[in-house]
Structure formats: structure tokens, C-alpha cells
Structure 1
Amino acid sequence: MKQRSPWATLAVLALAQFIVVLDVTIVNVALPDIQADLGFSAETLQWVISAYTLLFGGFLLLGGRMADLLGPRRVFVAGLLLFGVTSLVGGLATTPEFLIGARAVQGLGGALLSPAALAILTMTFAHGRERNIAMGVWGGLAGLGGTLGVVAGGVLVDSLSWQWVFFVNVPIVLALVALIPVFVPDMRHNEDRPRGFDTAGAVLGTGGLLAIVYAVVRAEPRGWGSFEVLGFLIGGVVLLGAFVLVESRSKAPLVPLKLFRSRALSVSSVSLALNGAGFLSMFFLTAIYLQQVRGDSALQAGVHFLPMGFAAVLGAVAASQLVQKVGTRTVQLGGSVLSLAALILLSRADASGAYAAELLPGFVLFGLGIIGVAVPAQIAAVSEVEHHEAGAASGAVTTMYQVGGALGLAIVTTLSITRTTDALASGVAQQQALVEGFQRGMLIAAFFAVANVVVTMVTPQIQPTAEQLTEAAAAA
């Protein structure tokens, strides 16, 4: 059998993960064009982001389980093909429902692809220095994808059309599928574990979350006391209760509930969910605000986001160093405070103030803050679990981050739209009404940061090892 270079394998895996992360941010700067072209309402536009995020988070653990049982390369290829096909379908969408459906299935593709790719990576590189380097490259490229996505999206929207933020994935996927047989080995876990996929758990958990998010979104036009909203809220809670029951009885659960006996894991999960809520809300509202209020082109909006991305990269390096010196809780608390300060600063921005004075400081502080929470929280999450359960723990907190982002976005967007609608009804000009909605949204997001400060107070103080730092870099 021909010997494959592990570094060539890493290149293929990292590029696949790169486009999955890229797709989260590249779409944000295209949202105003998508809204205008397909006729999205202000309430439903968030589903372009939430459909992807919820299905990605809701099926991430099932994707990891499938990789264990069917072989990671097989699941990796399946997820990659699904991601590519739905990218093409999304670009061809002509109605809001069509695009939301494509984004949901695209999220499912990402949920199959990402854990399978990480499984191949960990089996390709032996424990030690080489794996540490590989994990660092993996985590670094994933972070770079998020940063470059806003600029790439702006270039594609301004020079071609919004459809190209989806079409761009297709040639990359085709190239990767052609390279996989050459560079990616077919590996299997040799573990004596119960065989089963726990599909019921994935469907119940994701269905419950979708119902709750839908209820929150419909609360703005229908009212919180409406039959529709209350029905979906109650239905969502019932489905999530059934999910917990199924997980507690399953021989091969997606989420081993015993993991949450660990205080560090439980608290870290909540903290990462709040971090996701603040990040996705801020990113969504600000992308629209920059273009619809301040008159940015898609490219200008992307460039204006760059300082936040660069600050996050620098923050990751600084946080990794600081946690070894002062402990995880101290760094996490600092990150939460920085995020809070950033959101308060952004909530004061208006339609005409200078970018350098009103937005740049908030962007830089927010980039430092979100990563200042993420790195120590990821480390703490795996600190008290057995080594063989570290993957499940990491998957659980990553899912919480995605789910928290979707729920937070629904809450913030609903309250922001309510403020804008009320302002318009009282005779305020449209631009000022949009500013008031944006400002309220930032303040609601700031409440998530306040909650994170409180949560951080009860998280354990941990001095991490080099191995724990590596795991956190890969999972972040």
C-alpha cells in the first residue's frame, strides 16, 4: 500500500474544515442583498444563519458517532458531497423557503464532515509533538476561515452576486473529493463499543431547539401569548425532555449525561452557549447595520470587520499563554468583561459617527473578549473527564456553542425588530429606527456577557497542561 504523507492529509482535512467555518461568516455580509433579492422579511432573515447553525450543532454528535461506526473517511466524503450539493442549491434558490431549506441541509453536511475530519486527523498523527502541530494548524486555519469569510463575501457580492458566496464552495468540494482517495487514508476505530446511531436523540434534540427558536421568532409578529408561540414553546420543551429521557436510557447516547456531573464541563457549556449567543447576534446585526444604516458596500462591511478577526487571532495566542500563568477562570473573566465593554460601546453607535471612534474600539475589544472566553472554557470543559471521553465532552460543548448562538440570535433579533417597528410606528425616520433597533440588540447581547461574568465566577480555576491547550485550539 502506498505511503501517504500525513501533512498532505492534514492539508485536505484543514481545507475542508476551512470552508465549513468560512460559510458561517461569508454569508453574513451578503444578507442585505439576499433579503432584497428573495424578499425575506426582517423576522425570517435570521433563518439563513440559524437553519445552518441549528442543524450543524444538533447533528454534530451524531456525525461523530457515524464516523466511529462507518469509518471516518466514508462519512467525511458523504458530508463533503452533501455540503457541496447544498451550496449549489443555495446559490440557485429563488425563494426564502428554498434557501432556508438548503442552508439547513448544508448544516447537516457540516455536522458529518467536521467530526469525521477531526477523527482522521487524530488517527493520522501520533500523540505528541506532531499531533500538537497538526492541531495548531487545524485550529488556526479554522479561525482564519472566519476572519477571511467577511472579506471574501464582500468581494464576491460586490463583484458578482450574493449567489457566489454559495457557488464558491462547489469547485473546492470537487477538488477535495478528487484528492481524498490519494491523500486521506481509510481508517477504522477498533473499539468494542455498543453499535448504534441514536438517531432518535439527534432528531428529538434538534427538533426541540428548532421549535423553541421558531416560537421566539414568531413572538414579534404574533405576541408571546399567542396560541402559535405558546404551542411551539411547549412542544419544544416536551421534545427536549424526551431527548433527555432517550439519552439517559440509550446504550450509546449522543450526549453521555454522566459527563455533566463535572462542574467544570457544565459551567463551561453554559459559558460557551452565552458566548455563542453574543457573537452570532453581534455579527448578524452589525453586518446589516453597516450596509443598511451606514451605507457600506458588502466589501466595505467585510473590511470593517477585519480588526475584530485579527484581534481574535492575537487574543487566542495571548489567552493560551495567560491561562498557564494565571489560570482559566481569570482569563475567562477578563474575556467576559471585554465582551461586555465592547457591546456597550457598540450600542452607542449611530448613523453618522466616525468608524474609528464608534465601531473600531468595540470590534477590537469584542475580538479579544470572545476568544478570551472560548479558550479557557474549552480547556476547563475537558479538565475533569476521562481521556477517552474528551472527544465526547468537546463535542458537547461545541454543540452548546452552536445552539446558544442560534437561540441568542432569535432573542436578540426579535427584540431588535420590535424596537425598530415601534420607532417607525411613532413616526421616526427609517434610518434612525434601524439605529434604535441595532442599539437595543447590542444591549440585549450585552446581557449575555453579563450572564457570562456571573457564570465565570463559579467555574474552577485550572492550570492547563500543553496537551489541554492543544485540544482547546482544535475544538475552538
Structure 2
Amino acid sequence: MPVTTDNETSPLALKPRHERVAGNPGGRPGLTLAAVAVVQFMVSLDLSVVNVGLPQIAAGLGFSAVGLTWVIHAYALTFGGLLLLGGKAADRYGRKRVLLLGLAVFGLASLVGGFAQDPGQLVAARAVQGIGAAAVAPAALALLTSTFPTGKARVRAFGVWSAVNAAGGALGVLIGGVLTQYASWRWVMFVSVPMAAGALALAWRAVAADPPPIRNGRPDVLGAILATAGIALLVLGVVRTDQYPWTSPITLTTLAGAAALLAAFVYVERTTTRDPLIRLGLFANRSVAGANAYNLLVGGAMASAFYFMSLYLQLVLGTGPALSGLEFLPFALGVVAGSILAIKLGYRLAPRTLLISGGLLTAAGFAWFGLISPDGTFITDVLGPSIVASVGFGLCLGPIVSIATAGVAPHETGAASGLLNSSRQIGSSLGLAALGTVAHNRTGQAVTPIALNNGYALGLTLSAALLVAAALIALIVLRRTSPPARSASNDHTGPAVSDRVSVE
């Protein structure tokens, strides 16, 4: 039977205010939120900061058209594939310790990538960046969940998190464009170095020391290797369909190998004597399963749309890198506005309603993007759909995180956070691989603005279709819940977005 959890009747709700807000004893909630915000901004920015610089990176290092996508895939694959291990490590070895180590790895990889001299070096550096991000992201999100366990403070904390998460992704395009045009594409890598150093210093000061960890066996490293290798092989098989058709022996063998590795991952998780990477029973919770399926599709749509629009502005409309980045600013502002609106609506509407509405609104914006033309302009082809899609995307961010971590045992919050981040990054990589290949096939060998426009338009339309599918998942999988009404008392209350969710 489904059980509805309610913060007004739970033991947690009877605790004093400072105990509910500061779930991380010895830490400073405000500074912890600031540290998590800086970390999330940096991680999100690095997913998009290279997009505008891709043409210059290709020219400078000699990437092929299809090979260029691996600048994005290398980061997304290691990030997504190792997030579960990162979450488990945060639960086992301490969130602060894993956060600091991940920031150090991320900063060093960014520095090395900026000095890359050939495609292999840059792709390798991006892969190591992903490893650092896989440690940082779940540790930071688990800290946020434990520091703000319920109440109005949780709503605001997740609102801040979602705003900086979205702003990092959107402003990354602007920052990348300015750096590429006025400095060098190498600075899209170097820019993360001072951010990682600043986040490390802030986290060192703000985050409380971890309590003694509970260690129930060794982490399942084999599971992490199998998951990452399986996903990487799957992406490789999809990306190479421009050279080897879907029915070719090479493609079929590659995809079969990916399926075998992923099946082995599931088997290992069910039978391992070590601490499983992810407890498969988590997926019995419809909120967790639905949120991650939703996030998978949203990740694929957003990564593909950013990629296509960056290339459309530069290669079809002939816009320079800096101006292209500036033209993404309305999208960034729209996402922030949508995130703030989600906080306001979070007290009146159920999370499921916000996910459906936000997904459909973003889909409408991407469908509008799909009408781009070779002789289009920023005002007619970019500005309007940017506003519609970005506000819709902002509406989704806070609710999806809150739903995916609600009802999860405290010792599994890192794993649940890693799972949510993983579904987003895996979706990004698979979505870009599939939609990028489809767009490339539509374009063919021609490099004229008309041919490129046709490919990008198709990719953007398919991105809209992914978001419609995500909204359907929210409608069908997630249970209906009551809007979280405000408490009648005079205390801090105002239930969090996730305070009333159905769990199995």
C-alpha cells in the first residue's frame, strides 16, 4: 500500500526549528548552501561552457565532425557512469572528504585540459573532469538534503540549488563564447580552475566534519566499471552509425556488447558480497523510478538542444562566439525565473503538476526552435523559444530533485543523489549521441547553411518529443498527491516540495 509521508505529523516536524534546518550538526547552513551552490554552478557550467568553443576546438586540434562530440561525451560518460560510485563513496567515507577530493581532481583536470595539444589529450582531460564531478555532485546534493531536511528552508535551499544549476548550464554558453572570442578556446578549460579552488576553500570552512562513517563492506567498484563501460560502448555504437549502419555487424556487435555489460552490472548489483553500488530496491519507490526516468529524457533533450543551437548560431547565422554566448543569456534568465516561480508554486501545486507543466512548456519551446530557418534572426528564431523553453525547464528542476530524494533512508541519500545526477548525465550522452547522429544523417555531406539548418531543426524537434515523453512519464508513473498546504501555525513552516510524496 502506498504511504503518504507528511512533515506535519512526522517526528521530525516536532523538533526545534534549528534541528530541522541544520541537519548537519556543527556546520553553518548558510555557508553550506553557498558552498553547494558554487559546486553545482561549476559542474553545470562545465557541461555547456565548451559548446560555443567547439568550432574553434575542432580547428585548433583537428577534430572530425563526429569526433568533436566526444569533447562532450567524455565528460558526460564518466560523470554519469561513476556518479553512483561517487554517491556510495560519499555515504561510506564522508561527504566532506569526498567533496574536497573531487574538487581537487576536477581543478587539476581542467588545468591539464587547457594545455592539450591533440584531440586525445583533451578528451582524456574531459574524462578526468567527469570523474571529479562524479565525486563532487552527489556529495554536495547529499549535504544539501541533510542540512535542510524539511520545511520552508528546504524549499528555498532547493530553489537556490536549481537556480544555480540552471544558471551554470546556461551562463556557461555565454562565458564560453566570450572566452573563446577574446582569449582562446583553452580558457573554457582554465575557467574551472579558480572556481574549483574557491569551492574547495569554501567547503573546507563551511561544511561540518563528517560523523564516523558506517562501513558495511567494501564499495562495488566492479559495478561502477561495468556500468561506465556499458554506457560508453552503447554511445560509441550509436555515434558510429554514420559510418556503420544500424544493421552492420560492427554496430550490432557493439550494441550487443553494451547490452551484455549492462546486464552484468545488474547481475553484480544483485549478487555482490560487497556494498552494492545502488540498491535495486530503490526503484520499487515509484517516486524514485519516475523521477529518474523523467530526468533521463530531460537530460537528453537539453544537451542536444544546447549543442544544436550553439552550432546553428555560429555555422548557419554566422554569429561570432561572444555574441552567440550573449544570445543564450535570455535562456539563463528564464531558467532562473522559472526556478523562482517553482518555489512560489511549490506551496500550492503538487510536484507532479509542476513536472508535467514544466515538461510540456519546455517541449513547446523546443518545437518552436525546430522552425529555425537558414535566413532566420535572433529575434524571430531564438529569443521567443528561449524564453518559453527556459521558464519551463526552471519549473522542473527543484521538484525533480526533491521527489527523487524524498522517502530515502538517510544512509542512502548520497546514492539516491548520485542516481539522479547519473540519469541526467547518461541521458545527456545518449540523447546527444542519438539525436546528433540523426541530425548528421539529415545534413549529409553538405556543409551549406541550408543543409546544416535542416539537420539542426530535426534534432531540435526530436528534443521536443523527448520532453513530451518525460511529461507522460510524470503523468503515468508518479502518483497524484495533495498540494503541500502551508501550516496554520506561526513557526517557520511551509512544507517542502517533497513533504508529501507517495512512496512504496
Q: Is TM > 0.5 for Structure 1 vs Structure 2?
A: yes
Residues 165-174 or 130-139, more deviating: 130-139
1:460 paired with 2:479, answer yes
Aligned counterpart in structure 1 of residue 331 of structure 2, from 288, 292, 308: 308
Asked if 1:361 corresponds to 2:389, the answer is no
Q: Once superposed, what is the RMSD of the aligned Cα atoms? A: 2.6
Letter matched to residue 349 of structure 1: I
Q: Distance in 2 between matches of 1:199 and 1:294?
A: 47
Indicate yes or no: 2:141 matched with 1:141.
Answer: no
What is the Cα deviation at residue 298 of structure 1?
1.2
CA contact (8 A) 2:91 2:412 kept: no
Distance in 1, matches of 2:346 and 2:202, equals 39
Shift of 1:113: 1.7
1:197 aligned onto 2:225: no
Instruction: Spell out the pairing of 1:292-371 with structure 2 (5 A cutoff).
Output: 292-371=315-394
Contact 2:351-2:403 within 8 A present in 1 as well: yes
1:123-163 alpha-carbon deviations (Å, 9 max, x no partner): 66786666665554444333332232222111111110000
Deviations 1:336-375 (A, max 9, x none): 2222222221111112223212221211111122233444
- Asked if residue 218 in structure 1 is aligned to residue 240 in structure 2, the reply is yes
Could you say if the C-alpha distance between residues 347 and 125 of structure 1 is closer, same or farther in structure 2, counting changes exceeding 3 Å? closer
SS in 1 for 2:217: coil
Letter in 2 for 1:439: A
Q: Relative to 1, partners in 2 of residues 1:138 and 1:279: Cα closer, same or farther, differing over 3 Å?
A: closer
User: 1: distance between equivalents of 2:234 and 2:281?
Assistant: 25
1:432 pairs with 2:450: yes
Aligned residue type for 1:253? P
- Gapped runs of 5+ residues in structure 1? none
* CA–CA distance in structure 1, aligned partners of residues 329 and 269 of structure 2: 41
Asked if residue 445 in structure 1 is aligned to residue 463 in structure 2, the reply is yes
Matching residue within 70, 81, 88 for 2:111: 88
1:238 maps to 260
Amino acid at match of 1:152: I
Pick from 75, 80, 83: which aligns with 1:52? 75
Q: For residues 224 and 371 of structure 1, do their structure 2 counterparts lie closer, same or farther at Cα, with a shift above 3 Å needed?
A: same
Contact 2:166/2:336, CA 8 A, preserved across alignment: yes
* Percent of pairs with identical residues: 38
Q: Is the 8 A contact 1:272 1:374 kept in 2?
A: no
Alpha-carbon offset, residue 82 of structure 1: 0.9
- Cα drift, residue 224 of structure 1: 1.3
Show the 5 A alignment for 1:166-315. Answer: 166-177=189-200, 181-191=204-214, 193-250=215-272, 251-315=274-338
SS at match of 2:317: coil
Q: Aligned letter for 1:100?
A: V
Please name the residue that 1:407 is paired with: 430
Q: 1:383 to 1:69 in 2, by over 3 A?
A: closer
Is 2:165 the counterpart of 1:165?
no
More contact order relative to length (CA 8 Å, sep ≥ 6):
2
**How many Å separate the matches in 2 of 1:376 and 1:4?**
25
Judging changes above 3 Å, is the alpha-carbon distance between structure 1 residues 455 and 155 closer, same or farther for their aligned structure 2 residues? same
Q: TM-score, normalised by structure 1?
A: 0.89
**Residue segments in structure 2 that go unaligned for 5+ positions in a row:** 1-25, 485-493
Structure 1 residue 377: deviation in Å?
3.5
CA distance in 1, matches of 2:497, 2:350: 12
Distance 1:271 1:229, change over 3 A: same
1:19 aligned to which of 42, 52, 59:
42
Deviation at 1:317, TM superposition (A): 2.3
Q: CA deviation at 1:212?
A: 0.4
User: In the TM superposition, what whole-angstrom CA distance separates every residue of 1:162-216 from its partner, at most 9, and x where no partner exists?
Assistant: 000111222333445456555544323443x513211111111111100000000
**2: CA distance, partners of 1:413 / 1:351:** 19
> Of residues 139, 154, 161 in structure 2, which corresponds to 1:116?
139
Q: Is the Cα–Cα contact under 8 Å of residues 439 and 458 in structure 2 kept in the other structure?
A: yes
The corresponding residue for 1:67 is 90
